[in-house]
Structure 1
Amino acid sequence: MTNQSNDPAHAKGTIRSRLLAARRACAPEQRAAWSSAACEVLVGQILVGQIGAANTVAAYASFGTEPDTGPLLAGLRGRGIRVLLPILENDMDLSWGYYSGPDSLVRRIPPGGSRPSPIPEPAESLGVDAVLSASWIVVPALAVSPSGHRMGRGGGSYDRVLARIEASPRAVRPRVAALLYPDELDVDLPVEPHDRPVDMAVAGQTVRRWNESPGEVLSR
């Protein structure tokens, strides 16, 4: 029998429950204000990123109590940046398609489901490797640790995407940014072998960047 006190998966489940409850308890107006601030900061960080001007960014369409990515998507497209959004495949991997505005998205019935997903997706897929053409990928997260490790909802889809990016033979890989609320940054998290760190986390107006030196953090 597994000792739950030493089980990272169980510990993550407890942390997820707490963070999701905090999101639900937060006033919608406060979530909207934090989201707007974070998206403005994130667009600016992408435009002045260390790898040069971005021409393609992979992001996601938010739902529920997640930080609202609407301002992010609009801000990127308003600056002439191509935007890719994910499509959930039958094996729970993510392929990608172009985003050209809210009307370009559809609501599919997810694998094993009977009702349309609450998450809108592009109508046409460019394949799972399309994300490798991006300069940045913005990923959802429930928390990011002081070392930059991300915790998602536990489905594993983005773990596969980040592993694909890490294994890419390209000389310059996409940089990874997580979008959060303020209390979800610098959370003490158990780390498992499949967990991958992000390069940057944005929570409200706060930015954390992790560079090539282990443990070195740049803060704004």
Structure 2
Amino acid sequence: MTEDRTSRDKAALRPTLLAARRETAAARDRDADDLVLSVHVVRLAHELGLAAGDVVAAYEALPSEPPTAATVTALTARGIRVIVPITLPDNDLDWCDAPDERRMPLGPDTISAAGLILTPGLAVDLVGTRLGRGGGSYDRALARRSPDTHAFVVLHPGELHSARLPFDTHDEPVDGMLTVDGVTWFRAGG
């Protein structure tokens, strides 16, 4: 499949996924989901050997996305440094410390220090192809991760696709997904 066709296929799929996401989000208990997701992430971080002083790259969820506020709070309470993205004008990602209200940029390569990366997305398939909103921000950021760092897309239940999603050569796969139902590994490490 050519990159142009893949891009068109992705663009055609996004409105359907976004509509389904809005419906799903409206039916979810956001506060309950926030707490459950934080428990799963803390457990995953522990299983990966992350402890005080280590770094997790997370993100601040949009209202329709699975919530991440409790996750950030739980990780920082354990002494884990949480970095969150700052979107640059070219859609690349810089990073800042989550508690930093001034949002002081740390540099795009800061993600390479993360021992775990949590990404947003609209869907994922069984081989870890993540479909995002189309800016390529996370594909660029994930390309900078350390080779032994695991990346997980955080989704609502029902956003895992058994059919293969369209993918380009520049798309960075994720190692698994997190939902309120738990952790699902797609790649070695689980």
- Asked if residue 196 in structure 1 is aligned to residue 172 in structure 2, the reply is yes
Aligned to 1:53: 50
Report the more deviating stretch, 202-211 or 139-148: 202-211
Q: Distance in 1 between matches of 2:15 and 2:34?
A: 21
Aligned to 1:184: 159
Aligned to 1:76: 75
For 1:5-44, list aligned pairs within 5 A: 7-26=5-24, 28=26, 30-32=28-30, 33-44=32-43
Structure 2, unpaired ranges of 5+: none
Q: Distance in 2 between matches of 1:84 and 1:47?
A: 18
Q: Distance in 2 between matches of 1:198 and 1:9?
A: 19
Aligned to 1:114: none
Aligned to 1:94: 93
The 3-state SS of whatever aligns with 2:59 is coil
Change (3 A) 1:40 1:156: same
Q: Distance in 2 between matches of 1:210 and 1:183?
A: 16
- Partner amino acid for 2:61? S
Checking the alignment, whether the CA contact within 8 Å between 2:127 and 2:187 is kept in structure 1 is: no
Checking the alignment, whether the CA contact within 8 Å between 2:25 and 2:64 is kept in structure 1 is: no
Which of 1 and 2 has greater Rg? 1
Checking the alignment, whether the CA contact within 8 Å between 1:31 and 1:67 is kept in structure 2 is: no
Q: TM-score, normalised by structure 1?
A: 0.75
Aligned-residue offset at 1:8: 2.0
- Partner amino acid for 1:132? S
Q: Distance in 1 between matches of 2:93 and 2:64?
A: 21
> Which of these residues, 158, 167, 184, is aligned with residue 208 of structure 1?
184
Q: Distance in 1 between matches of 2:34 and 2:132?
A: 18
Aligned to 2:103: 123
Checking the alignment, whether the CA contact within 8 Å between 2:175 and 2:186 is kept in structure 1 is: yes
Aligned-residue offset at 1:161: 0.7
The one-character-per-residue Cα deviations of 1:55-92 (angstroms, maximum 9, x if unpaired) are 11011111121111111111111111111111112222
Aligned to 1:111: none
> Which of these residues, 115, 118, 130, is aligned with residue 135 of structure 1?
115
Aligned-residue offset at 1:35: 4.2
Aligned-residue offset at 1:132: 0.7
The 3-state SS of whatever aligns with 1:86 is strand
The one-character-per-residue Cα deviations of 1:29-52 (angstroms, maximum 9, x if unpaired) are 515144432332122111211xx2
Aligned-residue offset at 1:193: 1.0
Q: Distance in 2 between matches of 1:21 and 1:47?
A: 35
Q: Give the alignment's Cα RMSD to 1 decimal.
A: 2.2
Identity of aligned residues (%): 37
The 3-state SS of whatever aligns with 1:183 is coil
The one-character-per-residue Cα deviations of 1:97-119 (angstroms, maximum 9, x if unpaired) are 1122xxx33xxxxxxxxxxxxxx
Change (3 A) 1:23 1:212: closer
Report the more deviating stretch, 91-100 or 36-45: 36-45
